């Protein structure tokens, strides 16, 4: 049934989808609320009844990514517990799958991070969302290492921070030089070495 | 003596310095040529007799950073050959010292990289400059490992790519959460493990 609540949720989803495209094309600062409304086929009234600002919409995009990640972790956990060797593949796979389009997501998330480095309110919101994302990945790592009888010589969260740093840094190189740095190549070459170094059974 | 050539070089240096500040404050796209001229105390005429565009000026900033790095490598090499244990410290130190202000440099270099991901000409120029930077670091790594009788099980350039990826990814976390991720902490915790994994004597 086409209830008002369902319509509202569909409007929101289309605005998010439109914003993802427009941000990737024109940048966070270059994209206006009007551009996003045009792309999604809505009026500015529809926009402002869903989001108070462009910042709030960008944060909703991050939230949607985090939510998708949480769902995927929930679905994966039961299987992973029986295949501890796949810890890194699981974590890296989640980072890749969290965003359907890596180029688009890199542009948007990097740009919003730069915005946050100049705007304390955006920084607070972004740090909160990144923390949530990191905490879930940390739980996943802890769960798998526990199940497989491994202990890490560093806090699991530090390891997750490293994985995120390598992933984000490598993605930038892959997008600039796709032939020289195939997506995921640095992560898959070097992170298993780190995991072996910090693991004790 | 205040020759025309020396004046020109001083004008260029002041424009670069002004651009560094204005880019960091307003972003690459937010900063106009006029803003940069105002900050440096020059007319637009002076700007355009030194740089054909804002892009060219941004690339000159990268070039200046690379040049500083090359000088530092040249100065360090004779000493490092006798202290092979300091390989990583040397490489990480160079990455840190190449930019006097990490926050400013992160904002500018990340933003120009995003610009390059949308503009093929900027991408070509940036890839060329990053390659030069990477090749010099690779020579440094090769020189030190050779002198110290070590062999790497991966190409030195791959290791350098990892160091750059970790450095850039970690810097983003450090700037967002300085108390939780002190600058350099992820690099110094994890990169020695990777170096140990890929080294054979």
pLDDT in tens, A169-197: 999 999 999 999 998 899 999 999 999 99
Q: What's the whole-number mean pLDDT along residues A113-136?
A: 91
CATH topology of domain A54-200: Tetracycline Repressor; domain 2 (1.10.357)
Position B47 scores a pLDDT of 94
Bigger pLDDT: A67 vs B40: B40
Tell me if A164 and B177 make a contact (CB, 8 A cut-off): no
Bigger pLDDT: B87 vs A126: A126
- What is the rounded CA–CA span in Å between residue A75 and residue B163? 34
In this model, does residue A100 exceed pLDDT 80?
no
Q: What's the whole-number mean pLDDT along residues A154-171?
A: 95
Residue B106: list chain A partners with CB under 8 A. Answer: 117
**B6-16 pLDDT tens trace:** 888 889 999 99
Among residues B176, B2, B171, B149, the alpha carbon closest in space to that of B92 is found at: B171
Residue B158: list chain A partners with CB under 8 A. Answer: 186, 189
In this model, does residue A41 exceed pLDDT 90?
yes
**A132-141 pLDDT tens trace:** 889 988 988 8
Q: pLDDT tens digits, chain B, 201 residues: what are they?
A: 567 788 888 899 999 999 988 988 888 888 999 999 999 999 999 999 999 999 999 989 888 877 787 787 777 777 765 664 566 777 777 777 666 688 888 998 999 999 999 999 999 999 998 998 899 889 888 887 887 788 999 999 999 999 999 999 999 999 999 999 998 899 999 999 999 999 877
Q: Which helix (H) or strand (E) holds B151?
A: strand B151-152
Position B57 scores a pLDDT of 93
Under CATH, which architecture does the A1-51 domain have?
A: Orthogonal Bundle (1.10)
Query: How many interchain CB pairs under 8 A, A with B?
Result: 118
Bigger pLDDT: A79 vs B107: B107
Any A CB within 8 A of B103 CB: yes
Q: Show me where the domains of chain A are located.
A: 1-51, 54-200
Position B147 scores a pLDDT of 78
Question: Is the ipTM reported for this complex over the cut 0.90?
Answer: no
- Residue at token pair 């020396």: B6
Collect contacts of A43-47 with beta carbons under 8 A, ≥24 apart.
A46/A11, A46/A15, A47/A15
Closest residue in B to A188 (Cα–Cα): B162
Tell me if A172 and B165 make a contact (CB, 8 A cut-off): yes
Tell me if A165 and B172 make a contact (CB, 8 A cut-off): yes
Tell me if B186 and A169 make a contact (CB, 8 A cut-off): no
Tell me if A169 and B164 make a contact (CB, 8 A cut-off): yes
Is B54-200 in the same CATH topology as B1-51? no
Bigger pLDDT: B196 vs A3: B196
Tell me if A113 and B172 make a contact (CB, 8 A cut-off): yes
- Percentage above 90 pLDDT, chain A: 51
In this model, does residue A81 exceed pLDDT 70?
no
Q: Where are the alpha helices (DSSP H) in A49-155?
A: 54-80, 87-97, 102-118, 120-147
- What is the rounded CA–CA span in Å between residue B187 and residue A145? 23
Any B CB within 8 A of A63 CB: no
Residue A72: pLDDT band (50, 70, 90) is confident
């Amino acid at each position: 049934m086409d209830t008002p609540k369902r319509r509202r949720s569909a409007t929101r989803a289309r605005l998010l989808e439109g914003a993802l495209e427009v941000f990737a094309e024109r940048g966070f600062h270059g994209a206006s609320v009007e551009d996003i409304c045009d792309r999604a086929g809505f009026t500015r009234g529809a926009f402002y009844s869903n989001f108070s600002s462009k910042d709030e919409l960008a944060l909703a995009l991050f939230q949607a990514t985090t939510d998708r990640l949480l769902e995927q972790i929930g679905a994966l956990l039961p299987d992973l517990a029986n295949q501890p060797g796949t810890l890194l593949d699981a974590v890296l796979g989640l980072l890749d799958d969290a965003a359907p389009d890596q180029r688009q997501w890199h542009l948007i998330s990097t740009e919003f991070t730069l915005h946050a480095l100049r705007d304390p309110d955006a920084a607070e919101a972004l740090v909160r969302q990144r923390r949530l994302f990191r905490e879930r990945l940390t739980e996943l790592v802890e769960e798998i290492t526990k199940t497989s009888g491994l202990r890490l010589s560093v806090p699991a969260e530090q390891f997750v921070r490293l994985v995120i740093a390598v992933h984000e840094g490598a993605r930038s190189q892959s997008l600039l030089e796709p032939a020289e740095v195939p997506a995921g190549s640095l992560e898959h070459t070097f992170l298993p070495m780190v995991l072996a170094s910090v693991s004790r059974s």
